[in-house]
Structure 1
Amino acid sequence: MVQKNNIKKSPHTFNDDKFPLLNKNNIDSCRYSNWYPKFEKNYAQYLVKSYIMNDIPESFVTFLLQDNIKLKYDGNLEFNDNDEFSDWSSDEESNDNSSDAADPISSYVDPAIDFFEVNNFISNSFKKSEKLTPRFNWSAPKDSVWILPYNNTMLTYTNEDVYLLLKGSNYIMHDLIYPYENVKGAENGDVNNHSLILREWIDDINPSMEFRCFIKNGLIVGISQRDIRTEYCYLNDIVGDLKIKIENFVESVFKPTFFDSEELEENGSEGQNAVIDMYLNLDTNYIKLIDVNPFCRSTEPLLFSWNELITKNTKEDYEFRLGENNTKLGARDHSENQIPLEIFDASLDPEKLRELTYEWSRLLSKQIKEEDC
């Protein structure tokens, strides 16, 4: 069944207890460094070639989490004290070392020295492929793509590109600090073996052919178009072929490889829950498994609501939803992360908000007077 998302759904509230039981093993099974090797052994053709560094050093984690750090690498990019970046610094900044000595938090970090293992790993990966995209175990830095000048993508060409994307991303911060926030009784600090993944960049990706598939207790309960801000009319003509391809992949490749065979024998399909992102090209029979996500609220349901997915009657055929122009058009992804720092700060402090409003009014009045003269 294909449904176009042209009816505004009424909001539903429901308790998280309706979700399938979630434990640390469920979250850890979706770690990129866990599921990628499983498929690489027999189904490498369905993967995007990736280079994985496990157990990254604590010095690199500290660098990513800490504010007010300047990154200096071969005289190129650096973070200044306001967490901005530039490819130059003033003579005053360059010659004034006293402030750095007094404030070690704002001192320069040299990747080749301070986390040389990570720096060497990234350099060696670029020797194998000149175009890479970084991520951590559960998340990619999609919210910080605006930092780099590569058409709002996660494409990187240099070590500095990688550092900027990772350090500017709230998604990466979430991976580092709160990976188990949806697991009752689990301590987020339990993660001590973070992994850095660099995936080879694929040119000419067609965003209309990316889909998210929701699997509950071993059954597909919904498939959604990934690019929910655009209507691709031609998908209606090929949706039947898409369903066959995705269903065959889930049954013959994904489920037997991803889920534990011993648990399957003991519990059947109960507990076989995951949300997978896929890319397809029907003309070339090209299928790529892009990501595996936990079946929980922190995973975006896209054109569905979680209430629909949780309460889906599995005896009925699932819905394959395609977007229309009235879905979620109008804003770029993660544009909320791109507001000026002054406005963000002012939103947290009423006094700063008044000062910002006054200054804006003053400058506006001055401009009007100048134009009238």
Structure 2
Amino acid sequence: MSSSFPTLTCSDVLKFQFSSWYPAFKGVTMKSTVIRPLSREFKEYLLADGIYIPDGSEDVPLTGTVVEDGDDDDDRPRYAFPELDAQIRDAVSEYEAVFPKLNFTSPKDASWMLSTSTPLRCASPADLYILLKSSDFTQHDLALESVFEGCEDASNPPPYELELVLRKWYHVDTSREFRCFVRQGVLLAISQREPNPYDYMLETDYKEKVKGTISSFWEREISGKWPTDDYVFDFLLTRKLDSGHIVDFQPYASKTDALLFTYEELESIRLADKQSLPVFRVVDGSTDFSRIAPKDIHNKVPMEFLSLSAGQNIEEFKKIWEEEIQKACAESDSEEDQ
């Protein structure tokens, strides 16, 4: 393994699942409800071919489009999770709406399944199920080989229990989201989370304000409290940029996107003069966009595309989906060239 990364074990990875860190940091993150254990049938449902919702889960109209299996509807397995539905409805009642995730990952790649004006906002079990079922991201949490990828002891993984996390939903201004990299107990760097250019982010006063707020928060609320010295955390600033809260924690590992940095750059920063840390980076004229995925690529896919998956297995659906992604990428490149 490259020296750019610390040694990673399965027990290290489990520290990053939501239920492991939420109790210690619940005062500085969004209110959330953790549901575990989940039934074997629920995991089977998430892995099953096709995109459909369990019986009894649609207590209010879906805010997006649900794919029906047409003539093959009677042939597919049928699922119903009345107890889980009730727990989801309780959380929706408490929070007004929820944003779901599993142990580690959220279905952000499926945001186009629901209303684009309120992305990822779930007001019913059906909304939540269709997001999870449509997401490639959350598939990561369903297989041990992906969960413990890169671990030196991955051949002998510890017990792992799938969990469903319901986070209080509210509209997030993505321009105030940042990813922060901590190596050997030092806050090395801060990267703008979404690769959109904003002129005000280039102003010296803005940069110093954001760096100061995040650094102070990290020193006060996270440093010395996280169980290892190597980790990445996502942070959302308040409108006044004077405070914020934790969005998530992730391993300091190659599978965690370094965004506007590379891990080789972060290693060079670690070895350099620490008086100038953290290094703060936003999108500017020097940004290499070839390393960054097109913005909102999933939202470029029309809702009508969902009908193409009816009656097809997951591999056929995936093939069509990848073709649409390639088209969206081409359109994005064309827009940038104009």
Which TM-score bucket, shorter chain as reference? 0.7 to 0.9
- Correspondence for 1:169: 135
Give secondary structure in 1 for the equivalent of 2:200: coil
- Correspondence for 1:257: 225
Contact 1:208 1:226 in 2 (8 A): yes
Letter in 1 for 2:177: E
Letter in 2 for 1:179: V
Aligned-partner Cα distance in 2 for 1:330–1:22 = 27
How many aligned residue pairs are there?
A: 298
The structure whose Rg is larger is: 1
* 1:23 to 2:9 alignment: yes
Aligned-partner Cα distance in 1 for 2:126–2:178 = 31
- Correspondence for 2:312: none
Contact 2:98 2:122 in 1 (8 A): yes
- Correspondence for 1:55: 37
Distance 1:235 1:197, change over 3 A: farther
Letter in 1 for 2:281: R
Aligned-partner Cα distance in 2 for 1:230–1:18 = 28
Distance 1:293 1:93, change over 3 A: closer
- Correspondence for 2:260: 303
* 1:208 to 2:165 alignment: no
Deviates further, 249-258 or 213-222: 249-258
CA RMSD in angstroms, aligned pairs only: 3.2
Alpha-carbon displacement from aligned partner over 1:82-134 (angstroms, at most 9, x marks no partner): xx934x786x667xx5xx3xxxxx1322232xxx3x22211111111221100
Aligned-partner Cα distance in 2 for 1:93–1:254 = 51
- Correspondence for 1:272: 229
- Correspondence for 1:333: 296
Cα deviation, residue 76, structure 1:
4.8
Aligned-partner Cα distance in 2 for 1:60–1:189 = 22
User: Unaligned regions of 5+ residues in structure 2, if any?
Assistant: 60-64, 310-314, 324-338
Aligned-partner Cα distance in 2 for 1:133–1:346 = 25
Quote the sequence identity (%): 24
Distance 1:130 1:239, change over 3 A: same
Aligned-partner Cα distance in 2 for 1:277–1:32 = 13
Aligned-partner Cα distance in 2 for 1:334–1:254 = 33
Contact 2:111 2:298 in 1 (8 A): no
Distance 1:348 1:164, change over 3 A: closer
User: After the TM superposition, which residues 1-373 of structure 1 pair with which residues of structure 2 at under 5 Å, given as runs?
Assistant: 16-40=2-26, 44=27, 46-68=28-50, 70-74=52-56, 76=58, 85-86=66-67, 97=74, 100=75, 106-112=76-82, 116=83, 118-151=84-117, 153-177=119-143, 178-187=146-155, 190-203=158-171, 205-234=172-201, 236=203, 237-259=205-227, 272-281=229-238, 283=240, 285-312=242-269, 313-316=271-274, 317-318=276-277, 319-324=279-284, 327-328=288-289, 331-335=294-298, 338=301, 345=316
Aligned-partner Cα distance in 2 for 1:111–1:220 = 43
Cα deviation, residue 160, structure 1:
0.4
Cα deviation, residue 57, structure 1:
1.4
Aligned-partner Cα distance in 2 for 1:286–1:245 = 6
Give secondary structure in 1 for the equivalent of 2:147: coil
TM-score between both structures, scaled by the size of structure 2: 0.78
Aligned-partner Cα distance in 1 for 2:177–2:99 = 17
Aligned-partner Cα distance in 2 for 1:140–1:308 = 27
Contact 1:276 1:291 in 2 (8 A): yes
